[in-house]
Amino acid sequence: MAAISLENLTKRYGDVSANDGITLAVEEGEIFGYLGPNGAGKTTTIRQLLGLIKPTEGTATVLGADIRNRKALTEVKADLGYLPDELGFDERLTGNQALDYFARMRGDQRREELLELFHPPLAKKIETYSAGNRRMLGIVQAFMHDPELVIMDEPTAGLDPLKQDRLHQFLAEEVASGTTIFFSSHILSEVQRVCDRVGIIREGQLVALEDIEKLLDRSGKHVWLHLRDDVVENEFVTEEMINVEITDNAIQFTYTGDYNSLLSHLTSYAIDDIEISNPQLDDIFKHYYSEEFTEET
C-alpha cells in the first residue's frame, strides 16, 4: 500500500485551479520531492492531504485513510508528522512548553534524540526566535513522536548551510529506517540531493513524475562548446537543442537527441574546447516552466 496516493486531486477557487487532476503515489520508505515555484499549488496539495481543505474533485489517501473521511484521517494522524511552511506556534510559549503541548497530543519518545541534533533555545519564548530556530523547533515537533510518514513544506527555509546539511543527513537516515518523507520545495539543488523521485507541478498540474536519475538521463546532456569561429545560430542550432545560449563563439545548450547525431553534427565545426555533462535539475525545471513547454502542451 502506498503511503500517499492521489487520484485526480483537484481544488478550484472560482475559475482558478490550484490543483488540477493530480494523480501520483508515494511509496512507503521513499523520500519524494514535490517541486515547483511559489504559487504552483504545492501547499494546496499538502493542505488537502492533511484534511485542512476539501478537494473539489478526486481524492487522496494518507496511510490508507481517505482524506474525505475526517474520522479515518484523525485516526492515522498519530503516525503522521507535519512541518508546515509557516510555523504556527503560540508566540507566548517557550520552546519547551510548545513541545510539551505536542507531546500531550502525540507523544515524544524521540524528543531528546532530536534535540541533540537540532538545538532551538528551549527556555526562551518563541516570539524571540530567529527563523532558523523556529525551523529547528518545527523539525523536532514533526519527528519526535516517531511517525511513519512526515510531510514537509519548504523544510530548510531559514536554516544556515550547516543545519541544512544536518537535516539532509537526518532525512537520509530516517528513510533508510523505513520512514516515508513527502518533501515539498522550490530549492532544486536540495531536491536533487536528497530525493528518490520527484514530481514537478506547474500551474496546478503535474507535468513530470520520475526517478531523479531517470529524469536527469531522459532530459539529455548539458553541452558547452567554444568554437574557433563565431556561431551562426540558424545554421548551428538543431531542434534537439533546448535552452540554447550563444555569446560570440561560445555556445551552451541541453541536447535531447541521439548523441551520435550530435557528434556527427559537430564534425562540421572547428572546436577549441568542449564539455558534456549531465544536466542539473535546475535546467530541467527551467524547461518545464519555459514558453516553449507552454506551447508544446
Residues 187 and 233 in one domain: no
Cell numbers standing for residue 154 = 519548504
Percent of the chain topping pLDDT 90: 67
What pLDDT score does 193 carry? 82
Inter-residue contact 44 to 95 (CB < 8 Å): no
Residues 229 and 148 in one domain: no
DSSP readout, the chain? Answer: --SEEEEEEEEEETTEEEEEEEEEEE-TT-EEEEE--TTSSHHHHHHHHTTSS--SEEEEEETTEETT-HHHHHHHGGGEEEE-SS----TTSBHHHHHHHHHHHH--TTHHHHHHH----TTSBGGG--HHHHHHHHHHHHHTT--SEEEEESTTTT--HHHHHHHHHHHHHHHHTT-EEEEEES-HHHHHHH-SEEEEEETTEEEEEEEHHHHHHHT-EEEEEEESS---HHHH--TTEEEEEEETTEEEEEE-S-HHHHHHHHTTS-EEEEEEEPPPHHHHHHHHTSHHHHHH-
What pLDDT score does 283 carry? 67
Residue 200, domain CATH? 3.40.50.300
Asked if the structure places residue 146 within a domain, the reply is: yes
Asked if the structure places residue 69 within a domain, the reply is: yes
Q: How many CB atoms lie within 10 A of CB 32?
A: 25
Residue 247, domain CATH? 3.30.70
Cell numbers standing for residue 88 = 504556527
Residues 184 and 157 in one domain: yes
Residues 207 and 263 in one domain: no
d(CA 70, CA 219): 41
Strand partners, 188: none
Residues 260 and 211 in one domain: no
Which residues constitute the domain of residue 135?
4-216
Residues 163 and 29 in one domain: yes
Residues 163 and 177 in one domain: yes
Cell numbers standing for residue 21 = 487532476
Residues 75 and 185 in one domain: yes
Asked if the structure places residue 290 within a domain, the reply is: no
Q: Tens-of-pLDDT digits for all 297 residues of the chain?
A: 799 999 999 999 999 999 999 999 999 999 999 988 888 899 999 999 999 999 999 999 999 999 999 999 999 999 999 999 888 899 999 999 999 999 999 999 999 999 999 999 999 999 999 999 999 999 999 999 999 999 999 899 889 999 999 999 999 999 999 999 999 987 777 787 888 899 989 889 998 898 887 776 666 788 999 999 988 888 999 988 988 899 989 999 988 888 899 999 999 999 999 998 866 666 666 666 665 454 454
d(CA 120, CA 99): 11
Q: How many CB atoms lie within 10 A of CB 91?
A: 11
Q: Could you give the number of structural domains in the chain? A: 2
Residues 66 and 193 in one domain: yes
d(CA 18, CA 32): 20
Asked if the structure places residue 296 within a domain, the reply is: no
Annotate 236-281 with three-state secondary structure: HCCCCEEEEEEECCEEEEEECCCHHHHHHHHCCCCEEEEEEECCCH
What pLDDT score does 213 carry? 78
d(CA 248, CA 236): 13
Inter-residue contact 138 to 121 (CB < 8 Å): no
Asked if the structure places residue 71 within a domain, the reply is: yes
Residues 200 and 268 in one domain: no
